[in-house]
Structure 1
Amino acid sequence: MRNNMKNRKYFYPLIIGIMTALLTFTGCSNYNDSNTETMQQDVEKSAETDSTSEKFSEAESPEPTITEIDWSDYFGGLNGAAVIYDPTEENYMIYNKELALTQRPPCSTFKIISSLISLESGIINPDDSVRPWSGEIFWNEDWNRDITFSDAFRTSCVWYFRQVTDDIGKEKMQAELNKLKYGNCDISDWKGTLNTNSDNPALTGFWIESSLKISPKEQVEVMERIFGNDSTYTEKTQNILKQVMLVTEPNVTDIPVYGKTGLGAAENIVVDAWFTGFAETIDGNKYFCVYLGQSDEQETSSAIAKQIAIQILNDNF
């Protein structure tokens, strides 16, 4: 637009000059200096309008509002935070704002992202997604077998997604995280050597108590970028993700809830517990995240984070 403005600056005066010369040469007595001045004013007015339009188009849309809400009763004394984003109202409902803005390792909630990237790029074919078990005995019995994508997601099979992540590769992973604005976007500890709770390369990665970090509010923003109206991801990919993220426990939810838990430990102590995703309501999607930090006096788990999230959603939507 600025180039067009620059061209008009020189183009209109040239036209005015040519028209004035032609009309004078043909003896047009009705065309005088007053006409020239009027045309010049019209040109300047047009330029001013274009300038205003340019400023308007470049102006950023208003930031969503933040409403702080006391949801402490749901947490029962646990150290935690909750964020729900309502796109219709362009409003964040936040409990414990300080913790909601604090970045922590995403742990297994990151399986949403690795699934998204691998489904979109064809690394995972849902119809032929079995990966063979190495024979190594893992602490989770559900992982000790050949396993499909959907089962790996629902059982949060780390070795499966460790392989998927390596198939995606560093370059593509970094580009996709930058696109999603995923927390600090730091995948520098690719193998997860910073993880003090495990030194098994099949069970570690940059997303498990390592270099990658994200806040509960950022988790919600990423969910909206994936499943919102402005998503750049295919409907097919979104629908496959929804299938594996659906909370199907009977009599648990009054509305469809899609999410993923995550749990991180350091020196065998739970330090991060997550449940993030979205709920389908009659007023549209509501994007949510519940996070629980380390608690010395009470049990902390991703199952509790999930329970808290579902209760808040059921009671408020």
Structure 2
Amino acid sequence: MKYLGLLVIWAFSINIHAAEKEIESLYRSNNINGSILIESADGKIKFQYNVDDEESFVPASTFKIPNTLIILEEGLIKDSSEVIAWDGVEREYAPWNKDQTLKTAFQYSCVWCYQRYAKKVGNIKYQEYLRDFNYGNQLTGSEITRFWLDGDLRVSVKDQISFLRKLYVESLPIEKQHIKTLKSIMLSESNSQIKVWSKTGWSGKDGWYVGYLVVNEQTWFFANHIEINQSSDLVLRKKLTMDTFKVLKIVQQ
């Protein structure tokens, strides 16, 4: 029985290695430099490509996940439908040029919306939350409205999944109702086969797609970081993630 157990472990490790080689081919065929980490809910199964424990990046709009919780917990907005009045400033991205709600601000990655609330939260509070969340390197910087875009805050793919796990089980030091509100606006796909809670991010060369999905009653966490060299690369944040799930046969082709 001992040898049978070792044989099963060996075969499983071979399968993981083969799958990770296929993932590598996905990134190479798309001329993308990036890294991805996928973990089962129980943490027993992990798939990764090009993950460097020492490498971290600005979280960009993926910071809207913890930032939404902070804004709600601070009582700066009461729920996902409260109106955030447009300031009348025309911006390049048309969906931002109108009133928003927390739900649309999250889904459209409305930078000005979150910057408005960042000024109200302030640096001291942000540092407390980052420490309580154990989020990334827990640094902000000199500009409170941009620290997640081009300031000092850095996260790794492992940091992203670590935070998502705490969000999923609702173990963060945040009122449960606020966590449920965030989850409701994070739900990006839902049908009879799959449900996905996710957020994209982009700042400079840093592109992200992070979240978790449920398929066949199994939950999987994911964090994909890619280097953005041209605007056409942006679609690959999500596409490479979902193609990886298909390679792993977690999601159907």
TM-score normalised over the length of structure 2: 0.81
Higher mean C-alpha displacement, 277-286 vs 114-123: 277-286
Matches of 1:120 and 1:91, distance apart in 2:
33
Matches within 5 A, 1:1-317: 69-70=20-21, 71-75=23-27, 76=29, 77-98=31-52, 101-126=54-79, 129-191=82-144, 205-228=146-169, 230-248=171-189, 254-265=193-204, 271-295=205-229, 299-301=232-234, 303-316=235-248, 317=250
> Matched residue of 1:208: which SS?
coil
Which whole-Å deviations, capped at 9, do the CAs of 1:100-159 have from their partners, x for residues lacking one?
651111111111111011223322211662121111110011111121111111111100
- Output one character per residue of 1:199-249: Cα deviation in whole Å (capped at 9) or x when no partner: xxxxx5101022111111111111112213644444422221122111238
Gap change, CA 1:312 and 1:163, over 3 Å in 2 = same
Paired residue secondary structure (2:147): coil
* Shift, 1:167, TM fit: 2.0
Higher relative contact order (CA 8 A, sep 6+): 2
Tell me if structure 1 keeps the 8 A contact 2:80–2:101.
no
CA positional deviation for 1:309: 1.4
How far is the alpha carbon of 1:165 from its aligned partner? 1.6
Q: Is the 8 A contact 1:101 1:217 kept in 2?
A: no
In the alignment, the residues of structure 1 paired with residue 213 and residue 80 of structure 2 have an alpha-carbon distance, to the nearest angstrom, of 26
**Structure 1 pair 140/276, CA: closer, same or farther in 2 (3 Å)?**
same
Secondary structure, in 3 states, of the residue corresponding to 1:169? Answer: helix
* CA distance, structure 2, for counterparts of residue 119 and residue 92 of structure 1: 33
Contact 2:55/2:156 (<8 A) preserved: yes
Distance 1:89 1:216, change over 3 A: closer
Distance 2:44 2:132 in 1: 21
CA 1:129 to 1:259, structure 2 compared with 1: closer, same or farther past 3 Å? same
Structure 1 stretch displaced more, 165-174 or 120-129? 120-129
Q: Secondary structure of the equivalent of 2:183?
A: helix
Alpha-carbon distance in structure 2 between the residues aligned to 1:229 and 1:162: 26
Aligned to 2:6: none
| Alpha-carbon distance between aligned partners in 2 of 1:232 and 1:282, rounded to the nearest angstrom | 30
Deviation track 1:162-210 (CA, whole Å, cap 9, x = no partner) reads 012222221221111112221111102334xxxxxxxxxxxx5101022
CA contact (8 A) 2:164 2:221 kept: yes
Q: CA deviation at 1:87?
A: 3.3
Which stretches in structure 2 are left out of the alignment for 5+ residues? Answer: 1-15
The answer as to whether partners of 1:101 and 1:216 remain within 8 angstroms in 2 is no
Tell me how many residue pairs correspond in the alignment: 230
SS in 1 for 2:200: strand
- Pick closer, same or farther for the CA change 1:283–1:232 going to 2, 3 Å: farther
* Counterpart-to-counterpart distance in 1, 2:114 and 2:158: 24
Q: Read off the aligned partner of 1:289 and give its amino acid letter.
A: A
| Structure 1 residues 277 and 127, CA gap change in structure 2 (3 angstroms) | closer
In the alignment, residue 153 of structure 1 is paired with which amino acid? F
Which structure's CA Rg is the greater one? 1
Whole-angstrom CA distance in 2 between matches of 1:127 and 1:95:
35
What TM-score, normalized by structure 1, do the two folds share? 0.66
> Once the two structures are aligned, what percentage of the paired residues are identical?
25
Structure 1: distance between partners of 2:177 and 2:218: 19
8 Å CA contact retained: 1:88, 1:284: no
